[in-house]
Amino acid sequence: MKTSPHIPDADVLRLEQTLDYHFQNRALLERALTHSSYANEFGLGAAHNERQEFLGDAVLELCVSWELYRRFPNTREGDLTRLRSALVNTGSFANRAREIGLDRLLLLGRGEESQGGRKRDSVLSDVFEAVLAAVYEDGGFAAAQHTVSCVFRQIWPESPDEGRKELDHKTYLQECVQHLFNGDRPVYTQVSASGPSHARQFTVEVHLPDGSRCTAEGTSCKKAEQSAAALALEELSRKYGDAFRPNVHHNE
């Protein structure tokens, strides 16, 4: 019977570098990475991340709300709420968890592992919330705010009008890929970033489960991802025709 989980030192160091935060109490992080199924399997009792999920949900909403409030001082409540909703949701948190490697570090019981828990949005969203709660417990609100700012760096909206009219190719591509490839997802990789700070140019590549890759550029990482997703949708349409389209409503 295990008395406590253990995350390899090298993995902890990489995660801390990504979060730009060093834990004084590493046990808080280890608990945040422990799913209840793992705790049950190894007799750890309540030493899992469910309570931290509860706290992390509130921490993330407050941190994202404050960042948007600070960025857009003249924006009305309704628009701030719309912007926050695009960032504070299960899918967004799950994607952030994958980007920072929590899907690899998460401690799961064998049953949950065999049922695909490591790929499930709800599980990954929960561990992301728990890790941010651990940062808050260990270092306070300022530390949590800084970590959120870092983790969301590439996807903060540049304008309060962002997303109002722009077609969300990334969301639709994800729906299509999940439909076509039994729940798998597209993976985005930043290839390069060049140019001066006032005129940066980002290159992003999206990888599809069938081995296809599409590359696009944009003045932000987010815009490059949207362009790459649009190209990928064209590629899927060419390869698979209407078979790739999920049964969901989509405004062209």
Other CB atoms within 10 Å distance of the CB of residue 221 = 18
Task: Tell me, yes or no, whether 207 and 111 share the same domain.
Answer: no
User: Both 23 and 138 in a single domain?
Assistant: yes
Q: Are residues 21 and 136 in the same domain?
A: yes
Q: Are 205 and 237 members of one domain?
A: yes
Report the pLDDT value the prediction gives residue 178, as an integer from 0 to 100.
Answer: 86
Domain boundary among 155, 187, 217: 155
Structural domain includes residue 252:
no
Task: Tell me whether residue 1 is in a domain.
Answer: no
Regarding whether 174 and 151 lie in a shared domain, the answer is no
Reported pTM: 0.67
- Cβ 233 vs Cβ 250: under 8 Å: no
Cα–Cα distance, 186 to 229 (Å, whole number): 9
Domain boundary residue, one of 155, 185, 203: 155
Instruction: Identify the domain boundary among 99, 132, 155.
Output: 155
Catalytic residues: 57, 129
Could you list the residue range(s) of the whole structural domain that residue 144 is in? 9-155
Tens digit of each residue's pLDDT, the chain (252 residues)? 344 567 888 999 999 999 999 999 999 999 999 999 999 988 889 899 999 999 999 999 999 999 999 999 999 998 899 899 889 988 889 989 999 999 999 999 999 889 888 888 889 999 999 999 999 999 999 999 999 999 999 889 988 877 554 457 888 888 888 888 887 889 999 998 888 776 778 899 999 999 999 999 888 888 889 889 988 988 888 888 766 665 443 433
- Same domain, residue pair 91 and 185: no
Task: Please check whether residues 228 and 151 belong to one and the same domain.
Answer: no
Q: Is 128 helix (H, G, I), strand (E, B) or coil?
A: helix
Q: Give the span between the Cα atoms of 163 and 222, in whole angstroms.
A: 11
**β-pairing, 187-194 with 213-218?**
unpaired
Q: In terms of domains, do 147 and 183 share one? A: no
How many domains does the chain contain in total?
2
Question: Are both 190 and 233 inside the same structural domain?
Answer: yes
| Amino acid in the structure at residue 89 | N
The residues facing 193 across adjacent strands are 202
Task: Find out whether 31 and 47 touch, Cβ atoms under 8 Å.
Answer: yes
- DSSP letters, 162-223, are TTSSS--HHHHHHHHHHHHTTT---EEEEEEEES-GGG-EEEEEEE-TTS-EEEEEESSHHH
Query: Is residue 149 domain-shared with residue 36, that is, in the same domain?
Result: yes
Identify whether 162 is part of a domain.
no
Pairing verdict, β 213-218 and 201-207: antiparallel
The CATH number for 103's domain is: 1.10.1520.10
Q: Is 80 in the same domain as 205?
A: no
Round to whole Å and give the CA distance between 35 and 158: 35
Domain annotation covers residue 164? no
- With contact defined as beta carbons under 8 Å apart, do 151 and 69 qualify? no
The partner residues of 204 in beta bridges, in order of sequence, read 190, 216
